[in-house]
Amino acid sequence: MDLTTMQSLSELPIDDFRRALTTNNLRVLQIIYAALGAGIVIFLAMIIFLAISYQTPAMMLAAGESLQTPFQAAPQAIAFMRMISILHGCVASVLYLLAYVVFQAQFGSHRLRNYATVAMLDSRGRTVTAPEEKALAVIRMALLVRLAFCEGAALVGLLTCLAGVSSGVLRAEPLYWLNVASAAIMLALVVFTFPTESRLERVFLRSVRKIHNA
């Protein structure tokens, strides 16, 4: 489509958008997704490893604990864990709300009109003027910003779990493992929105073209 006659990216046909879905463009976005997801998996694996290590008989005896009596965490540690778990819930809720709002805002009508008339940068920092490349750049930015907010919530949850492991609270009160939920949400988002050609086409149709039954 001729850029000079386009008033908004929402006018871009799906066939034109498909031209931007090259192997290189997809690979860049997929690598970023995989890297962010892998970081959360590695952090979670380290926490689980530490939790298991702290419960081995050798570690318990080295810490002066009895193998017969149940472990009891300090009341102050439990109170602190309760406080930071509540804080995690509040922070995660705010970040999830921001993820939704900012994602939707990228596809507002005024933004799509503005994007159609200005130059943008692609994943390699190059200036693009083709409307299909601009549409892909908008989608890429929206997806990564949403993922970044969710990763922030996941990191807060994992740091909370790390504090629980180091203080022994997670051994005494396993319920606090629920703080892992934000990491699970992050990983689910990575898996179920992992950028493929068909998924990016659906995002384009629903968010850019505003075809909600796509």
Q: Does 157 map to a domain?
A: yes
Identify the pLDDT of residue 48. 93
Q: Does 4 map to a domain?
A: no
DSSP code, position 214 = -
pLDDT tens sequence across 65-98: 444 444 566 788 889 999 999 999 999 999 999 9
Identify the pLDDT of residue 7. 80
pLDDT tens sequence across 141-159: 999 999 999 999 999 999 9
The more confidently predicted of residues 127 and 134 is: 134
Residues forming a β-bridge with 120: 128
Q: Three-state DSSP class for 55?
A: coil
Q: Average pLDDT of the chain?
A: 86
Identify the pLDDT of residue 55. 59
Share of the chain above pLDDT 70, in %: 84
Q: Does 1 map to a domain?
A: no
Q: Does 182 map to a domain?
A: yes
Domain count for the chain, please give it. Answer: 1
Identify the pLDDT of residue 107. 92
* Rounded (to 5) percent helix, strand, coil in the chain: 75, 0, 25
Region 152-168: mean pLDDT is 93
The more confidently predicted of residues 68 and 40 is: 40
Share of the chain above pLDDT 90, in %: 58
Q: Does 214 map to a domain?
A: no
Identify the pLDDT of residue 188. 97
Q: Which has the minimum average pLDDT: 6-10, 130-134, 137-141, 210-214?
A: 210-214
| 123 has a pLDDT exceeding 80 | no
Angle at 56 between CA 54 and CA 62, to 5 degrees: 75
Q: What is the DSSP string of 74-102?
A: -HHHHHHHHHHHHHHHHHHHHHHHHHHHH
Identify the pLDDT of residue 116. 79
Identify the pLDDT of residue 61. 43
Q: Does 6 map to a domain?
A: no
Q: Does 3 map to a domain?
A: no
Region 123-150: mean pLDDT is 88
Identify the pLDDT of residue 49. 92
The more confidently predicted of residues 138 and 125 is: 138
CB 200 within 8 A of CB 21: yes
Identify the pLDDT of residue 115. 81
Residue 134 belongs to domain spanning: 11-208
Q: Does 56 map to a domain?
A: yes
